[in-house]
Structure 1
Amino acid sequence: MNIAGSALSRVAAGLLLCTGIAQAAEERGAADSSWEDERDHDELAKRERFMGERLRRDNDAAYARSLMAAAAREREANARLMAGAKAGDITLGEVWTNLGPSRMSSGPMDSGRISAIVTHPDDSSIVYVASAGGGVWRSLDAGASWKAMSDTLGSLGTGALAIDANLPNRLYLGLGDTHRTGFLSGPSTSLGTAPGLGVLKSSDGGVSWSAPVLLGDSTSIRKILVSPNNSNLILVATDQGLYRSTNAGASYQLQPLGAGDGKPEVWSIAWSGSNRFTASTKDGSGGRIWFSSEQAAGWTPSNGVPATVGRITMASAPSSPNIQYALTYHSVTALTEIYKSTDGGQDWSSLNVGQESYVNHAEPVRKLLGTSESYNQMVVVNPTTPNIAYFGGQLRLARTGDGGATFSLVNSTSTSAANYVHPDFHAAAYDAANRLYVGNDGGVFRSGDAGQTWTPRNDGLITHLVYGIASSVDDLGELLVALQDNGIFHSGNSGTNYSRMAGGDGFWALLSQNDARKLIIATNGGTYQSDDGGLTGGVLEFDGIPNGAASFIDQSPAVASGETLYAVSGGKIYRSTDFGKHWQAVALNGLVGNVRWVRAGRNSGVLVAIVGYAPGQIWFTLDNGAHWTQAPTPANADGSFLDAAVGDDNQFYVISDGYREGKSRIWSSFDPAGGWALAGWGGLPAGVRLNALKADPVRNGTIYVGTDLGIYRSTNKGLTFTRLGAGLPLVSVSDIWIARDGSRLRAGTYGRGVWNLVLAN
């Protein structure tokens, strides 16, 4: 879901289960505009508004190529450390264990955003899903349990998955998350799935995968369709055109559509019978549907859909593919429009949903897509009855049983309802038993009774997109996880099971290190604090900060309690010594410019502040701001400064968010005023983004770096690095927490949940 525009949070005002915090969230939510009225639906703009951070997006083929090449080198160099390696091959004592989230103690389990669902054509127990940041998963028991099938590919950002109905062990995987392919925010927060490049093929049900076949410079694949009548004929929709293969995926050729370079965004493909198809595109002039000749060799614009629409998602009736439905929106009013074709997509007519309301709910169908009309779209048609189709939008899942004459609402956003389904729909598929699966920002849900009831199928589907994590040495069982569109999850038993502490989008969380009952959580609905595990509490008022808000908060490692915090607001720095209840301004003597973020060192009074971007200015103080000094900018720096750490020995470390080889991205210094040394790159994956940085609290000279391929450790002040631990997938690491006694480290990942590592002495 769009980060600050969480539909679920706007409806449920945070959906907090902790009584005291819930009341505060409800009071705040009452003043918010309804989801129908909100028009600012750009996720990047919303994140910037709520977090005060500039975002940088690496959605290009150059980085995708670099990432995939680095992953191949990692698989070879660190084969014994890869996820799925045989236990006898693991030679180190440090082995990662997954902490979920995998199960809830009560209520429905939600997982991460789903890009695609495919089912076995004959065996209803076999289901595959592709997730936005967690790769491909397979279930052999109709979603009761799941197994990760692509943890070592290198990019777990996926956009499409298809099955060959004639050869059902044959799968095609399109890399590159459709909606958020690799973007970064402030320190220790890598918000974005890694980009992908190309289509991979599996001939053994996802056990192994081919090398990717590149499709030009496309980095986001939205749809793959294998012709039901010809296993050699495959169509692929990408962010840079439509591609066709006539040799079962061995190679692909661009199919020009429209004017210019013939490479518009292609969003959807539908089968029209025989070996004919329709495809939808979107460019500067709007959305359009095309229909093909035999073998998809030529394409012609369809009739009836005006140029005033935006993104279009289509589906055809498997039993009568001439009948097709198209879900879209008016590009000016953003109101939902649905079209239907009865001649294989050549001609379309509007179903006039602007004049319709649900037959069982007093709400117009035209608001189906809500405020995220280009983000959440889903259409599926019953395999045997062409008049039955489902349309998924932001909050609503609609069903027609009469070919579009009327519509019923078949879901609820209330987690206590029998027909609860998480909002923001992206994928759907029927299985061989005529049961319907839908995929959304909360994972996978299934209905066997035409949508009257739904069952979450997310236990063990660990594809959560983690923004931040918090734990406490006071009670290592305590764990808070901030999640994309799943709010804040809380576990009191080291991840055995979880409860939902807050809904919406969870941004970050903090726990006291002396008293794990003290917590602070931040969501798109606000920032909240409790001293008793959430039983009571309320809105964090930021007393002492002029505008009552902060764009960034750091938990100082210099104070054992973890209750000394530093915040940035309005370009200034503030300090709290009572876990956020009261704040005082930190002196900025000598510092020039607006501070973007601040990190506290392991010694009292040591701070690092960053001003500006590309790469920015590095400032530091050794006396809590009484005197600030600007450090020289490291030579040949790439990107913008992203994170910093200072060890017990006052060794300074800084990383940037760049990735280009030949540029520098990680530096160390014992005296930043005198300059920086480029940290040795040996052991770190070249050409891969660095996302998070931590200094070991007890081992001087030891640092940990989170990257798009996992975590790496240096024990010699950054001169050399080694991959940390065995069993962690090649996944983007978004946050790192380390116990103050150096006993263990926990990692939040953007697509594979939370992981724990007991560190060797």
Structure 2
Amino acid sequence: MAEDPAQKTGIAAIDPMTAMRWRCIGPPRGGRVVAVAGDPEDLAVFYFGACAGGVWKTTDAGAYWENVSDGFFRTSAVGAITVAEADHNVVYAGMGESCIRGDVSYGDGVYKSTDGGKTWLHMGLEDTRHIARIRVHPDNADLVYVAALGHAFGPNSERGVFRSNDGCKSWEKVLFRDENTGAIDLSLDPTNPRVLYAALWEAQRTPWSLISGGPGSGVFKSTDGGDSWQELTGNPGLPEGLKGRIGIAASPAKPGRVWATVEAEDAALFRSDDGGATWEKVSDNQDIQGRPWYYQHIFADPQDAETVWVLNYQAWKSIDGGKNFQQVTTPHGDNHDLWIDPNNTQRMIEGNDGGACVSFNGGDTWSTIYNQLTAQFYHIATDNQYPYRVYGTQQDNSAISVPSRTHKGAIPWGDCYTVGNSESGHITVHPQDPNIVVSGAVGSSAGGGGNLLRYDHATGQVRIITVWPELLTGRGAKEMKYRFQWTFPVQFSLHDPDVLYVAGNLVFRSADQGSSWEAISPDLTRGDVTKMETSGGPVTKDTSGAETYGTIFAFAESPHQAGVFWAGSDDGLVHISQDAGKTWSDITPADLQEWSLVSMIEASPHDPAKAYLAATSYKLDETRPMIYKTSDNGGSWTDISQGIPEGDYTRVIREDPVRRGLLYVGTETGVYVSFDDGGSWAPLQGNLPNVPVYDLAVKENDLVAATHGRSFWVLDDLSVLHQINNELAESPVQLLKSRPSVRLRSPGAPRKPSTGKQYRLSLGADVTYTEETGPAGETVRRFLDAGENPPRGVNVTYYLKEKPEGEVILTVFDSEKQLIKSFTSAAPKDSSVAGAGDGGREPRLPAEAGVNRFVWDMRYPDARKVPGDKTTEDMNTGPAAPPGNYHLSLRVDGKELTGEFQIVKDPRVAASQADFDSQFALHLGIRDKLSETHDSINKLRNIRRQVEEWEQRAASHSAAETVAAAAAPLKEKLADIEGELVQTGYKGARDRLNLPVKLNRKLAELVIVVGSADFAPPKQAGEVFQDLSARIDDQISLLEDVVDRDIAQFVTLVEELGIPAIIPSTVPPGALTPSG
């Protein structure tokens, strides 16, 4: 039973994620997709299920995609998706893909939405693990069939074909062969929905092999809606002998026509025109039979009985009954799923290993896959630039470099770049030269076994530096000189930047960045040759390198002492060397399950004798977490996995380099944190989707995550976690220390959210996003095709043991403790009238029990506004605080706490402190003069308003003409002054270049000049400011003359005439009364 949060005490009672937030930095480059569907009625609506990224929906035909399953799904891998024809709001998703790669993630059954993906319910079949197809009766959205493959790594009984007659509230298994055989395809005959065809597949993975085929594989048919089934496998025309994976499709255009693509010794495409009673081999084209365990996807055209599609490495289409095929080019290779609109066969959506794409012309052109934040990364690296960049190897794509932030306000695709065509391995960046990136490239590069690439960004060239570049495709691991795993370790030395380490079954060292190699270890694996046979079979071999076994999977160099190495193997051994590899000691934890995969070793940054390891046995069908630590160089180990749930197996562990014993673990569904060196664990999930986390890195006090299905994510500013302890938990209120904040420039957020999609932040920053008002009144942007920058400003974090009774007030002071700005948790003040403060809606302070975070944007108060003046709208920004020391005051229910923080300059900037100070002084002077100008305009308009009200009161008076005659020249003088200070005729964009600009806009525009970069302002900017100030002063003097002379005379006149005074309650804020 889950622990009641209200019963937690001490650190366990504190959830740091109430104040912290993950952000996705991209890249917006799609990951693998094996499940797609379209709405038959709404032509712009499509869905896809990412292989480890949940369900996504487009309402604009693939121009943009949004995730619709976050917060509802407990797992992330989607194997099947369908929209009910009878009710297009009903969408079913089957979890766990059936293209069972070695990195496959499991699912937890079926989810259902009845509102077009807005909300979802879990509907059972949790132990099916991998669902291949969902079919729904065309006239009954509650009659659902599921083809479940079952466990990929072991036998189980919850597999086969399942049926629900009540919208998935209950299930019955209607077709089952045995615990090693599951259903891999299912086709419902649209011409007679009681007829179904099912393909069963006997398949299983182990860490060292893939078994595809056996006596369990076969083809079945039901003519009574699944009540009974007839096996067709031995019917005339189908191949004899063992069969592997089979794809099957009933033609909607011709009753009785069925297509089957069969993995067998006689692999071919077969067709039946009598409902499966007899079959004809129509094509033995091997281009449509490649790697059958991974493909065998076939789709019948809904309207043309002679047209059939087969998806493989390429997409293939036949229009002559399967005799001949033409390739249809798609945006990416490795094609898996296709939905064709039954009413318009030109409209379709296709899923491949690069994402999902939509076509409206039958596949001639497709929508982009560079708008999907679903990349599957294996490992991560960061460089030492500022801002740092994040590097990773993306499955079925290339290695890539992504900035952790940009000056553009977001992270567009154009700011990312490829760093070699590595899809599978570890990646490392030269510590002193970020142009040099080395990464493993098994499966995606030439160069023999253990492909290794060295990329130089200065030239764009990629060198192949493989340890032993002998091509070994088609052979088992036992025939290899050296064995390298799909994701073998690669690392630049922490002590010598030109030394490179890689690990196969031996550890190798290069002193010349890969031009030559030497082995510095013996074989550090079990070396069991029975687990090194050629992978695949019994029908088709498959030697991609993913099943190469008996290799070193984890490698770590001590940060404290050169020559100390830790190594962990994929067959469950751990070794250490303390003499630069001359000797190695077996230090395997005694209770580590045999044949477990040692996924990651972390050498403690605090203690030379300490290390942590994350291991897993999920490829042995064992999903428990496995984490260990040692404090004596592996002499003894302690299991510290207690507290991470069963099923959430572990892939990576890192120790915080600042706080000893602060640990981060990446699992199959997310991230956990321990504050007590593994004694207990808590989720560090927050807004991070449930997604496999393959690697973690701590960089510049940020936690960076490589997810295997949702791209890269960053948790900014770990200083909060450094300060969480039992004392904090017992404090009624505490102001936490803030880390130094770098003053960076990027487009600011508008005060009010815009409606609909926006397509540009600024010139050169073309990204698509939407906006909404956040809970504190701030504008929140959600990017659809770009990564997210961190919040711009100073993080102020405070802990409240209980929700306060009164308002919380935060005040910022400069180094001399002079007031800069105050913020409150109370509702914002009304800024719609003249004289109301600084004219902008300020974000509110959060004031909830627990950890709260507020971001001060480093800005001094804005200039005061003129209500309704569109010429200076959003141009009244106060100056940015210069680098220096600042003070804080936090007041909560009568208690005041104080703190300090520091703003530092961007390290790339050459400006001196004097430059920053002069820039600040000029900007502040401009702001104050602009406020003075706007105050005068508001004052002028209040005066005129009252003059006009006196005229109205005098309208029925005998002296009406006298008052009007006195008011006319007065109003004319006011209009002349106003016309110099502000453009009163501006109504909208038409007038921007049509009407002359006035003094207040000239002054506001000067702010942009002064603040355009982190440098001392140009001399001429100061000269323009002096000129504008003098001209404004002239107008203000004229206004004062009007007040002192003309207004006084006018007031005397109306008083002598006995005109009633203005009722005080109608006086606008800041207005002059008749006596004043």
Question: How high is the TM-score relative to the length of structure 1?
Answer: 0.74
1:496 is matched with 412
Look up the match of 1:116.
35
Is this contact kept in 1: 2:374–2:710, CA < 8 A? yes
- Note if contact 1:710-1:733 (Cα within 8 Å) is conserved in structure 2: yes
Residue 110 of structure 2: aligned partner: 199
- Return the letter of the residue paired with 2:80: A
Judging changes above 3 Å, is the alpha-carbon distance between structure 1 residues 394 and 541 closer, same or farther for their aligned structure 2 residues? closer
Query: Is residue 2:672 matched to residue 1:737?
Result: no
Aligned partner of 2:660 in structure 1 is: 700
Q: Cα offset for 1:287?
A: 4.6
Please tell me the residue identity of whatever aligns with 2:328.
V
Structure-2 residue corresponding to 1:633? 589
* Alignment-derived partner of residue 655 in structure 1: 614
Quick one: structure 1 residues 589 and 377, their matched pair in 2 at CA, closer, same or farther if it must change by over 3 Å? closer
Distance 1:557 1:715 in 2: 29
Q: Tell me what 1:756 maps to.
A: 714
Q: Report the Cα offset of residue 492 of structure 1.
A: 5.5
Q: Deviations over 1:513-546 (max 9, x none)?
A: 3221011122132312134455234111549999
**Could you tell me which amino acid in structure 1 is paired with residue 503 of structure 2?**
V
SS in 2 for 1:480: strand
Aligned partners of 1:713, 1:729: CA distance in 2, in Å?
Answer: 16
Q: Write the distance in 1 (CA, Å) between the matches of 2:184 and 2:469.
A: 51
**Counterpart in 1 of 2:226?**
296
- RMSD after superposition: 3.7
1:119/1:591 CA distance change after superposition, 3 Å: closer
Distance 2:335 2:418 in 1: 21
Q: Is the contact between residue 468 and residue 507 of structure 1 (CA under 8 Å) also seen in structure 2?
A: yes
Q: Determine whether 1:157 maps to 2:77.
A: yes
Kept in 2, the 8 Å contact 1:197–1:212? The answer is: no
* Secondary structure class of the residue paired with 1:205: coil
The answer as to 2:262 corresponding to 1:328 is: yes
Q: Which residue among 326, 336, 346 is the counterpart of 1:426?
A: 336
Counterpart check, 1:393 vs 2:304: no
How far does residue 124 in structure 1 lie from its aligned partner after superposition? Answer: 1.1
Aligned to 1:222: 132
Q: Which amino acid aligns with 1:737?
A: A
Between the aligned residues of both structures, percent identity stands at 23
What residue is the counterpart of 2:279 in the other structure? 349
Q: 2:326 aligns with which of 399, 408, 412?
A: 408
Deviates more, 1:495-504 or 1:170-179: 495-504
1:107-145 per-residue CA deviation (whole Å, 9 max, x = no partner) reads xxxx22212111111001110111211121111111111
1:760 is aligned with what amino acid? L
- Superposition deviation, residue 728 in structure 1: 1.0
1:608–1:644 Cα contact (<8 Å) kept: no
Within the candidate set 216, 227, 248, 2:167 is matched to 248
What displacement does 1:282 show? Answer: 3.3
Give the number of the structure whose residues are more often helix, by fraction: 2
Larger radius of gyration: 2
For 2:580, the equivalent position in structure 1 comes to: 624
- 2:252 aligned to which of 290, 314, 318: 318
Q: Indicate how the Cα distance of structure 1 residues 332 and 75 shifts in structure 2: closer, same or farther if over 3 A, else same.
A: farther
Q: Aligned to 1:294, what secondary structure does the other structure show?
A: coil
Please point out which of 354, 360, 372 is paired with 1:448: 360
Q: 1:673 to 1:101 in 2, by over 3 A?
A: closer
Q: How does 1:196-595 map to 2 (within 5 A)?
A: 196-214=107-125, 217-239=127-149, 240-256=159-175, 264-274=182-192, 275-283=194-202, 284-285=214-215, 287-302=217-232, 303-308=235-240, 309-329=243-263, 331-333=264-266, 335=267, 337-343=268-274, 345-354=275-284, 365-370=285-290, 372-395=291-314, 397-411=315-329, 420-431=330-341, 433=344, 434-451=346-363, 453-476=364-387, 478-491=389-402, 496-497=412-413, 498-503=416-421, 505-523=423-441, 524=443, 525=445, 526-533=451-458, 535-540=460-465, 542=467, 552-555=488-491, 558-559=494-495, 563-571=498-506, 573-586=507-520
Q: Is the 8 A contact 2:616 2:625 kept in 1?
A: no
| Contact 1:130–1:136 (Cα < 8 Å) also in 2 | yes
1:98 to 3, 21, 24: 24
Deviates more, 1:698-707 or 1:577-586: 577-586
Q: Secondary structure at the match of 2:244?
A: coil
Q: Where in structure 2 are the equivalents of 1:50-65 lying within 5 Å?
A: none
Which is bigger in relative contact order (C-alpha 8 A, separation at least 6)? 1
Q: 1:577 to 1:728 in 2, by over 3 A?
A: farther
- Aligned partner of residue 99 in structure 1, secondary structure: strand
Partner of 1:32: none
Letter in 2 for 1:101: P
Following superposition, the deviation at residue 566 of structure 1 comes to 2.7
State the alpha-carbon separation in 2 of the partners of residues 679 and 230 from structure 1: 50
- 1:555–1:562: 8 Å Cα contact kept in structure 2? no
- Structure with bigger strand share is 1
Aligned equivalent of 1:141, options 39, 53, 60: 60
How many residue pairs get aligned? The number is: 632
Deviation at 1:243, TM superposition (A): 1.2
**Shift in alpha-carbon separation, 1:447–1:627, aligned structure 2, 3 A:** closer
Q: For structure 1, which segment, 218-227 or 692-701, has the greater mean C-alpha deviation from structure 2 after superposition?
A: 692-701
Distance 1:611 1:450, change over 3 A: closer
CA contact (8 A) 1:477 1:493 kept: yes
The CA deviation at 1:690 is: 0.8
C-alpha displacement at 1:178, in angstroms? 0.8
SS at match of 1:312: strand
Q: Tell me, yes or no, if the aligned pair for 2:38 and 2:348 is still in contact at 8 Å.
A: no
| Residue deviations 1:87-110 (CA, integer Å, cap 9, x gap) | xx995443211122215xxxxxxx
In the alignment, the residues of structure 1 paired with residue 186 and residue 524 of structure 2 have an alpha-carbon distance, to the nearest angstrom, of: 56
Report if the CA contact (8 A) 2:308-2:317 is conserved: yes
Q: Does the C-alpha gap of structure 1 residues 406 and 74 become closer, same or farther in structure 2, counting only changes over 3 Å?
A: farther
* 1:735-754 residue CA offsets vs partner (Å, 9 max, x unmatched): 22332xx4222211111111
- TM-superposed CA distance for 1:352, in Å, is 2.4
Report the 3-state secondary structure (helix = DSSP H, G, I; strand = E; otherwise coil) of the residue aligned with 2:426: strand
SS at match of 1:735: strand
Q: Would the aligned equivalents of 1:163 and 1:171 in 2 still touch at CA under 8 Å?
A: yes
Do the aligned partners of 1:541 and 1:581 also contact (CA within 8 Å) in 2? no
C-alpha distance 565-696 of structure 1, shift in aligned 2 (>3 A): farther
Offset of residue 405 of structure 1: 4.7
Structure 1: which amino acid aligns with 2:357? F
Q: TM-score, normalised by structure 2?
A: 0.54
Change (3 A) 1:648 1:577: farther
CA contact (8 A) 1:637 1:664 kept: no
User: Residues 44-83 of structure 1: matches in 2 within 5 Å?
Assistant: none
Q: Which amino acid aligns with 2:134?
A: I
Pick from 655, 664, 671: which aligns with 2:632? 671
